[in-house]
Amino acid sequence: MVNTLSTKTLRDKYRSAQVQQALKAAVVLEKVCIVDNSDLRTISSPYITAMTTTVQTLAGTYTPAAITISTDTLTVTDEFICPTHIFDFEQATAAFDLFYTAHVAMTNSITTAVNKWGVNELCANAGGSVTATAGGLTTAANWKKYLSKIVAAVSGYDESSAGFYIIVQNSDLEGIIQDQASSGYSYSDAVNNNGFVTSQLGVDIYIVRDGTFVDLTTTGGSGTKTWTNLGHRVGGVKKVATYASPRGLHFEEKGVSGYTGMEVVGIAYGGFAQWTPTAALTLDIDVSS
C-alpha cells in the first residue's frame, strides 16, 4: 500500500518553510565503536595466539612454540530501509519542501534504528561481564559500585587508554542523578548547579532511550540478529569493536506506474564485529533487580 501524508500539510500556508521534526534519540554508537564506511562487505582481521615469555636460569637454550593464526571477520549482514511516497499534488500544494522534510525524517528514523541495532550487537557480543547488584541502576547506592566494577574489569590493558564508557537508558538516571548530587562537594555542586554530569570516575556516560536494550529474534528490529539484552547495559573500553556501514546512508527516488509524484526510500547497510583479542574489554552489564 502506498502511504500518503496527512491532508493537514496541504494548505498550512502560514507555517514556516521547514516542519518541526519529531523527537530524536541520541546516537552513541559512533562514540564507542570504530566506524568503517568503506565499500567492503567483509573485513578480515587476522591475529595470533598470545605469546608466552619464560623466566629461567641462565642457559641460552629455549623451546620454540608454534604460532596459531586465527581470523576474525566482520560481514555486512543487514540493511535498514525507510520508504515513503510523495504524491505530486502534496508537493505542489504544501508550504514546504516535502522531499527535504522526508529525507530528514528518514535520516532520523534510520539513524535511530542503526544505533539501537549496533548497541544491542555490542552488548550481545561482549566478552566480559559485570554481575548484577540488587536494585540495579535506579538505586542510587549502586551507581558507584557499577562504575568501579567497569574500571576494575578493564584496567591494566594498553587498549584502555582509549577511555572507559557505559551506555545506560534514560530511566536509569533516577538513581544515577541522586548519587551524583551527593558525591562530594565540588562534584555535587556541579550536578546541582548544572545538571547531569556525563563523566564520573573516569567513565564516560552515554544515554539512550528506554527500550533500546531488548530481547529480539530475527525481526524487523534486529534483522538477522538474536539478542537477549533486556535488563542489561553495555560498557568497557572504547574503540575495540567495529561497526561497518558501506556507503553510509543514501536515498533513491523513483517514479511508480499508476501514481503521481515520487517514491522515496532511505537505505543503509550494517555489519558488526567484536574482535576476539579485545572482546574482554567490552562488558555485558547486568542491571536486573
Render pLDDT for 106-151 as a digit per residue (tens, 0 to 9). Answer: 888 888 999 999 999 999 999 999 999 999 999 999 999 999 999 9
% of the chain at pLDDT higher than 70: 87
pLDDT at residue 282 above 70?
yes
- Other Cβ atoms less than 10 A from the Cβ of 202: the count is 12
Calculate ∠ Cα 57-62-64, nearest 5°. Answer: 150
pLDDT at residue 20 above 50?
no
* Mean per-residue pLDDT, 30-56: 84
Cβ neighbours of residue 218 closer than 8 Å, sequence gap 6 or more: 224, 225, 226
pLDDT of residue 185: 62
Beta strands of 131-249 (E only): which ranges? Answer: 164-169, 199-200, 203-208, 215-217, 226-228, 232-237, 241-244
How far is the C-alpha of 196 from the C-alpha of 188, rounded, in Å? Answer: 10
Top mean pLDDT of 10-24, 152-166, 225-239, 245-259 is at 225-239
Summary mean pLDDT of the chain: 84
Exposure of 43 in the CB half-sphere (CA atoms within 13 A): 22
Cβ neighbours of residue 16 closer than 8 Å, sequence gap 6 or more: 96
Whether 134 and 255 have beta carbons less than 8 Å apart is answered as no
Whether 125 and 282 have beta carbons less than 8 Å apart is answered as yes
% of the chain at pLDDT higher than 90: 39
Residue 217 or 8, more confident: 217
pLDDT of residue 48: 79
First to last CA, the chain: 44
Nearest residue to 118 via CA among 23, 22, 21, 206: 206
pLDDT of residue 10: 39
pLDDT of residue 194: 65
Look up the pTM and report it: 0.83
Nearest residue to 128 via CA among 272, 242, 232: 232
Residue 49 or 60, more confident: 60
How is residue 182 written as a grid cell?
Answer: 551527593
pLDDT of residue 203: 93
pLDDT of residue 23: 56
pLDDT at residue 216 above 50?
yes
Residue 3 or 74, more confident: 74
Exposure of 88 in the CB half-sphere (CA atoms within 13 A): 7
* Mean per-residue pLDDT, 192-200: 74
pLDDT of residue 7: 45
Q: Tell me, what amino acid is at 138? A: T
Q: How sure is the predictor about 180, in pLDDT bands with cuts at 50, 70 and 90?
A: confident
Least reliable range by pLDDT among 17-31, 34-48, 107-121, 260-274: 17-31
pLDDT of residue 163: 92
